[in-house]
Structure 1
Amino acid sequence: MSRIGAWFRGTAAAAPSPTASQADLRAKEIAAMEDAMAGASMIMNDDIDGAEERLRKGDSSFHHLGIGVCVFMKSILGFEKAIMVEASNRLYECENTAWNEMKKAQKEAGSAEERIYPPGSEYALVIADAQLMSAVVGVLHESLTEGIKGFYKLRKAYVALDGIMQAEDAYMKKKGLRNLSKDQIASSSNSISAGRGNANDDTDDTDLEFVDADEAHPGAQATQTYEGHVADKSNPPAKELSKLSLDTNAAPRPSSTKVGIPVVNNASPDSDIFNNPIDSFVHSGVNMCFGSLLLIISMVPPTFSRLLSIVGFRGDRERGVHMLWQSSRFDNINGAVAGLMLLAYYNGLLSLADILPSEEDVKKGAVVGYPREKCSALIAQMLQRYPDGTLWRFEQARVLGNSKDLHGALRILKSNTNSKMRQVSALNNFEMAIDSMYVHDYPDMRENFLRCIELNDWSHALYYYIAGCAELELYRNAFHAEEKDETQIQLHKKKADEFFRKAPTVAGKKRFLARPLPFEQFVTRKIQKWEERSKELGIELVDAAGTSPAEEMIYLWNGSKKMQAPELEMSEKALSWGRLTAPEEARHKIKAEIDEQAVRDVCRAAVARSLGHLDEAREVLDSVLAMDKLAFKGPTKDDYALPAANYEMAVLAWAEVQKPELRKKADKADEEDWLREKTEECQSWLDKVAKWEAFVLDARIGMRVQTATDTLRWYKRERGWTTA
């Protein structure tokens, strides 16, 4: 793995003693870096304890970063507050160690050696890496203050990474090696100047003036070497925050600071450009960090845009995805983390989305779509590198789920429960629980969600609630069975009641940016609604449930997208009013509630659409859109149903755009007009949802809207309807 000997053979023989001494220091640094990276890579092979043990034997900033990665992985996989605090502390130590080593590297750097990156860039990358992880932990923390600090750390990481990328770009241009193809990023000409001030003034990328602006190190002086920051100290942080933008289409902001979206170099890991291990580390690391940053910010739903405006952040999904793919080509911890980010994005976020490019468009290079074949190839590559990595098999199952092979996904998940990392076991188990729900295996669904309570403390309220949903369906099955078994009826009814009543009692223990978790709010309101209904109608709590809450959960996780016809037909039956268990008079009153009707119809429309019955879906949604908005106002009303219906109309319009057989028979000019009309129809429905007033699950619906907006922006650009 190491190329230390090959790197130094060409320089050590002719060098005088001081240079030889410098070469020894570089060799020591590279050895420490490679040892730390090898240790950190053990995480990806399901040996996080072994990784920590090995990393604690070293004292370099690379080893500190590796330990930080270990704790960070535990914190984001498990969402546990104590581990988040530990992660923050470890990453802060890493920042300080790297700062000192960066200063030392700059001071001792030789002037004769030609470099891609300025002296100390590898340590600046470590600092930015630690800041990026600290920011993610801060945003996931329960405190709004910590969240805002996290966004500020994102800003600092961005500025440092931008400086390194500018240096790389300048070197590539100098050597004539700059490689920016059409397949890389379609909008590069618009995006490079974003946030840099006047693009016409940026004529000399080799003019790199890096000035320290880190408030954690008072007294530091401006130097001619790389400090990892490009901010001008004359501008206070708040002013600088307001200037920063990651929006590739935003108008340039006046600024003396050169901060822009980086040009992506597409050089191979085997290229002579990266025969220096430090350059390989920096290049793969910057692409991983910057790509993650751009991607994460691009996924923030519209409801959080006000918070993000504090730091002026707007992401670039296409560029971020491309940078992550570039990093994933490198056989090191940076490449592995980039691979995980890509798979989490594709198999997680995009599994919730409906408005995406077609598979054909993805094969032609549509970056905003879901590249199933590339994901499978990436997982195969990672399993070769890390054959014991349960995380990769977990992602393998998710690819199958997204390919509508839920039973195949479950087979992998059930054989992947022996991870040494409890956090990975929790993820694997949650995916089993969700997939069991999609295939309507209610006993497994119940057991898996109850096991989530043992493995993870993120949202016990949600886990109890969905376990209750499984028991409710079993109760309804027993209640409506041709041969009734009173013992089974009462058993499942009692269990459902127990889980439903337990859920609100454990809600509110977890918060996100000082706000209650949306799903816990949803659960609490739902149970309160049923309790009020049961008192009003004189029936028991379980009988007061209306539209199948399990099917409602399937809709909210977009499970119908992963189902085949048999599962979808089972969902249709589960959504029948005939499944209710309340007496006839009470049943009639439940069915008459407007928001109850709306929830059921939104779920039915999604199922009909997934079965290809678009006209039926539109007819069902029209009945929801005709409902009075005021009927959804109230502390226990299901207020998400109306904006969800608007979103579903956007999905139907996009389905017509994507399916040639649905287009009207006309000449090519008329067809183009029709496509444009349908695309604008889709956009108008999305705009309505994006501007909707706050509702309980607005962030969840908002993520779908954000992805859809990116897709339409890509589609319009591809058709030549816009240059944005």
Structure 2
Amino acid sequence: MFRVLSALTGAGSPKEAELSGEERTRFILQQANDFEIALQAMDYVLDDNAKVGLKLLADNQASSSGDATVGALAKGVIEFLEATLGFEAEVMKRASTTLGEAEQLSLKSRAKLQRLNVKTSTLYPPGTEYAVTYTESCLLHALLMLFSESMVEGAKALFKLRKAYHMLQDILKEIKASEERRKSSLYLQELNESTASFISGSSSFTSYDIPYKLTPEEQQDRELLDMANKVYSLRKNRLCGAHIGNSPAINRLRDDIGVASLKKGNNEVVQNFQQISDENDVNQATMDEFIHSGVNLCFGILQVVLSLIPPAIGAVLSVVGFHGSREEGLRLVWKSTKDRNIHGGIGLIGLLFYYDGPFQFTDIDFDIPAARDDDLPVTEMDRPTLLHPGKILTGALLQARALFPNSALWLLQEARMLSKQGRLREAVELLDSIDHNTIEMKQVKALIVFEKATTLVYMHEFDRAAETMLIMINISEWSHALYTYFAGCCYLEMYRKCQMGILKANDKGEKEAYYKQRATELIFGSAKIVGKKKFMSKVLPLDRFLLRKVDQFKKFSNMINSSEPLDSIGISPIHELIYFYNGYNRMTMKELDLSLKALTEYHNPTIDLKNPDQELITNLLTSLILRRTGKIEEGCEILDTQVLPHLFTIQYDRVKFIKKTEDPWVYPTAFYERALFSWKIKGMDGLHEADEWLIRAQNYQDDYELSTRIGMKVKAAKDRVEESI
């Protein structure tokens, strides 16, 4: 073993660095073992047990044979998940450091395996697995840099993405070449010739992790056999979900989402572990599985991320060298989810965020049925399925829920899926089924509480939503100002319900005074704490948004000369926030009608001023609510007559924008929503018209506090329209 370590660390003379056959076999099995340990550790974090996963890595690393490279990557992946779930500066910094270390170790490990000509796969040349660890650490590191919203870090991130892309291209060439080889009639013969078989007494054991035939001495080596058996067992247990201390997952596998299916349970209880999907092959070598799933995930995410970058910063994509294909990227990420490892887990998290998350990457109203590609293999997802995966996505989530029963992360995703389907009450019931204080990963704890608060907002249960949102101050390091403002807007809506007579409680007078006091304290107090919690030393976009809103309220206060601070708030600010978090697409007819009532029937001195900028917001939100309730023509007329004429004119067949400064998110949003009306009213015949409106949305955009969020939504819609024209 000392000679193996010496060779891999570069010690000794060139002659001493050469490995004997037995040393090479021992190294390959030890490496597969270390990769399995790393995959097991990363699965612990998917089950909300990061501490156990990190300890497992540390214990393996403490042994003289632990693979430092995959150990650093695994630790970096765990820290990356913690960082991106919570966006806490200290956690992001720690993850960046670890991933940077993994990058350097990967390059060194790859070079050493190439120098020693140690081939650990029947399919790929020496060092390919470390090319994947390099790509993965590089990509995740770049994503953290992009999240920092720093121009300098963003530029560095793009160079990292470029490095990852070029490495991926090299690996993809090898994968395609191997796929061609596997089509050859000589492949099975070559595979048989490279099968490693051990002989123990009258029985034999085949190891698929060793890419060559063993010598007679190696076949009889009991120690090597035990190592091969251990790797096989680790892989089998992982594929069956028997590796992180849970009972058989098959007993928790459901056929539908929601609390009712949870309570129903399975009638039969299976005692033995078994795979819950027949897509995984226990005889596939660990290295090959790691390479395939890693490349699918990394190249898929890379393409999706680059395809979502808004046009405002799209010019820098030339640095990377290509423009991502969202369709191809999604297809590759979907492919990665078929593997029962961390790559499949991260891929599924990404897909769930893309389809069911709080942002409108896949606006359910822009459900354009793209033409089917007849050349697409039947094993791949076609375009309509990529747009609306439906039961495929549900099934993948239910498998994750069964495999990782202790993780609130997957429960959160189920709640989001229920919410997207308009099953808001069920979503809250599911979120209520877990005590957030028992969740180990505090970032997931915060996401659970925030999701519950926003879902309650969509249900118009503003009182409880405010109380829930204020819990965030004690459990999240994100934006305390936003949580405070959000809660204040909820109390304001309760106060207005009292004024409108919607709230009919016996103690209405007492409650009205309470809501008035809390709304005033929280809304106007939120501006005073902006900057106390910063993201990477910067004030957050939504913090800048609320600062502008509070200044706006103070301006109106001077205009109406009222002693009541809440009279200076015009359009319901909670309904602006509902739009930002995609709430109108989640509401049922009941909640939409309540929103319409709040927007159009409530009056106070500021609303009665009929300020043009305030009227724009009211009319914009009214139009899209009407569309969601089926009154499409009526909604479109409001947008065409009351909103868009204030934003642009056409002179000599050229569009001339009327630049405005108040509530800048409204203007590109209005063009985006008008594109949606074109699609809803005219169908496929309206796509060219929709495309024109989306071009106007892109051209109107400026660098304002929500420009990235709105820009990504516009770009996602434009790509979908262009693909279907």
Q: TM-score, normalised by structure 2?
A: 0.76
- 613-622 vs 94-103, which moves further: 94-103
* Aligned residue number for residue 88 of structure 1: 96
In 2: Cα distance, 1:612 partner to 1:366 partner: 23
The 3-state SS of whatever aligns with 2:585 is: helix
In 1: Cα distance, 2:367 partner to 2:409 partner: 27
* Aligned residue number for residue 255 of structure 1: none
* Aligned residue number for residue 600 of structure 1: 618
* Aligned residue number for residue 31 of structure 1: 33
* Aligned residue number for residue 148 of structure 1: 155
C-alpha contact 1:368 1:710 (8 A) present in aligned 2? no
* Aligned residue number for residue 225 of structure 2: none
* Letter of the 1:424 counterpart: V
1:488–1:387 Cα change, 3 Å: closer
Cα displacement (A) at 1:657 = 4.5
In 2: Cα distance, 1:361 partner to 1:558 partner: 27
* Aligned residue number for residue 367 of structure 2: 357
Residue in structure 1 matching 2:177, options 164, 170, 178? 170
Residue in structure 1 matching 2:122, options 115, 120, 124? 115
* Aligned residue number for residue 551 of structure 1: 575
* Aligned residue number for residue 608 of structure 2: 588
C-alpha contact 2:370 2:724 (8 A) present in aligned 1? no
In 1: Cα distance, 2:166 partner to 2:94 partner: 26
C-alpha contact 2:534 2:540 (8 A) present in aligned 1? yes
The 3-state SS of whatever aligns with 1:387 is: coil
In 2: Cα distance, 1:501 partner to 1:269 partner: 55
1:17–1:437 Cα change, 3 Å: closer
In 2: Cα distance, 1:394 partner to 1:361 partner: 33
* Aligned residue number for residue 300 of structure 2: 291
Cα displacement (A) at 1:90 = 1.1
In 2: Cα distance, 1:329 partner to 1:293 partner: 18
* Aligned residue number for residue 3 of structure 2: none
The 3-state SS of whatever aligns with 1:688 is: helix
Q: Specify every segment of 5 or more residues in structure 2 that has no aligned partner in the other structure, as ranges.
A: 1-17, 62-66, 186-277, 373-380, 649-655
In 1: Cα distance, 2:353 partner to 2:607 partner: 42
* Letter of the 1:160 counterpart: M
The 3-state SS of whatever aligns with 2:60 is: coil
1:127–1:114 Cα change, 3 Å: closer
1:679 aligns with 2:687: yes
* Aligned residue number for residue 243 of structure 1: none
Counterparts of 1:220-231 in structure 2, within 5 Å, are none
C-alpha contact 2:310 2:712 (8 A) present in aligned 1? yes
- 558-567 vs 138-147, which moves further: 138-147
1:656 aligns with 2:658: no
Indicate the percent of aligned positions where both proteins have the same amino acid. Answer: 30
In 1: Cα distance, 2:366 partner to 2:660 partner: 34
In 2: Cα distance, 1:17 partner to 1:644 partner: 64
Cα displacement (A) at 1:350 = 4.3
In 1: Cα distance, 2:451 partner to 2:144 partner: 23
C-alpha contact 1:633 1:639 (8 A) present in aligned 2? no
1:696–1:68 Cα change, 3 Å: closer
Residue in structure 1 matching 2:396, options 378, 387, 394? 378
Cα displacement (A) at 1:509 = 5.3
In 1: Cα distance, 2:285 partner to 2:664 partner: 57
The 3-state SS of whatever aligns with 1:424 is: helix
1:532 aligns with 2:565: no
Cα displacement (A) at 1:538 = 1.2
* Aligned residue number for residue 427 of structure 1: 447
1:397 aligns with 2:404: no
* Aligned residue number for residue 42 of structure 1: 44
* Letter of the 2:643 counterpart: V
The 3-state SS of whatever aligns with 2:613 is: helix
* Aligned residue number for residue 688 of structure 1: 696
1:323 aligns with 2:324: no
C-alpha contact 2:337 2:348 (8 A) present in aligned 1? yes
1:683–1:509 Cα change, 3 Å: farther
Cα displacement (A) at 1:531 = 0.5
Deviations 1:236-279 (A, max 9, x none): xxxxxxxxxxxxxxxxxxxxxxxxxxxxxxxx95469x722101
The 3-state SS of whatever aligns with 2:700 is: coil
Count of aligned pairs between the two proteins: 587
C-alpha contact 2:280 2:340 (8 A) present in aligned 1? no
In 2: Cα distance, 1:706 partner to 1:409 partner: 29
Cα displacement (A) at 1:368 = 4.4
Cα displacement (A) at 1:462 = 1.8
1:158 aligns with 2:165: yes
C-alpha contact 2:463 2:490 (8 A) present in aligned 1? yes
Residue in structure 1 matching 2:384, options 346, 363, 366? 366
The 3-state SS of whatever aligns with 1:453 is: helix
In 2: Cα distance, 1:490 partner to 1:467 partner: 16
Deviations 1:46-95 (A, max 9, x none): 11111111111123211211111111111111111111111111112222
Residue in structure 2 matching 1:641, options 651, 666, 678? 666
1:572 aligns with 2:596: yes
Cα displacement (A) at 1:337 = 1.2
1:394–1:485 Cα change, 3 Å: closer
C-alpha contact 2:368 2:721 (8 A) present in aligned 1? no
Counterparts of 1:428-443 in structure 2, within 5 Å, are 428-443=448-463
Query: How large is the RMSD of aligned CA atoms in angstroms?
Result: 2.8
Deviations 1:317-374 (A, max 9, x none): 1111111111111111111111111111111244662453368989964254131211
Deviations 1:177-226 (A, max 9, x none): 79xxxxxxxxxxxxxxxxxxxxxxxxxxxxxxxxxxxxxxxxxxxxxxxx
* Letter of the 2:124 counterpart: Y
C-alpha contact 1:433 1:449 (8 A) present in aligned 2? yes
Cα displacement (A) at 1:520 = 1.9
1:510–1:359 Cα change, 3 Å: farther
Q: Specify every segment of 5 or more residues in structure 1 that has no aligned partner in the other structure, as ranges.
A: 1-15, 179-267, 659-674, 717-724
In 2: Cα distance, 1:85 partner to 1:322 partner: 31
* Letter of the 1:153 counterpart: K
C-alpha contact 2:331 2:386 (8 A) present in aligned 1? no
1:24–1:390 Cα change, 3 Å: same
In 2: Cα distance, 1:680 partner to 1:559 partner: 28
In 1: Cα distance, 2:577 partner to 2:569 partner: 14
Cα displacement (A) at 1:124 = 1.5
In 2: Cα distance, 1:530 partner to 1:352 partner: 33
Cα displacement (A) at 1:572 = 0.9
C-alpha contact 1:464 1:503 (8 A) present in aligned 2? yes
C-alpha contact 1:598 1:624 (8 A) present in aligned 2? yes
Residue in structure 2 matching 1:100, options 104, 108, 133? 108
* Letter of the 1:459 counterpart: S
In 2: Cα distance, 1:633 partner to 1:358 partner: 31
The 3-state SS of whatever aligns with 1:638 is: coil
Deviations 1:90-146 (A, max 9, x none): 1122222223322222222257x8732221111111111111111111112253322
In 2: Cα distance, 1:656 partner to 1:513 partner: 44
The 3-state SS of whatever aligns with 1:381 is: helix
In 1: Cα distance, 2:507 partner to 2:466 partner: 22
In 1: Cα distance, 2:46 partner to 2:184 partner: 33
The 3-state SS of whatever aligns with 1:561 is: coil
Counterparts of 1:171-250 in structure 2, within 5 Å, are 171-176=178-183
The 3-state SS of whatever aligns with 2:405 is: coil
Deviations 1:126-182 (A, max 9, x none): 11111111111111225332222122111111111111111111121233279xxxx
* Aligned residue number for residue 560 of structure 1: 584
1:134 aligns with 2:141: yes
1:283–1:617 Cα change, 3 Å: same
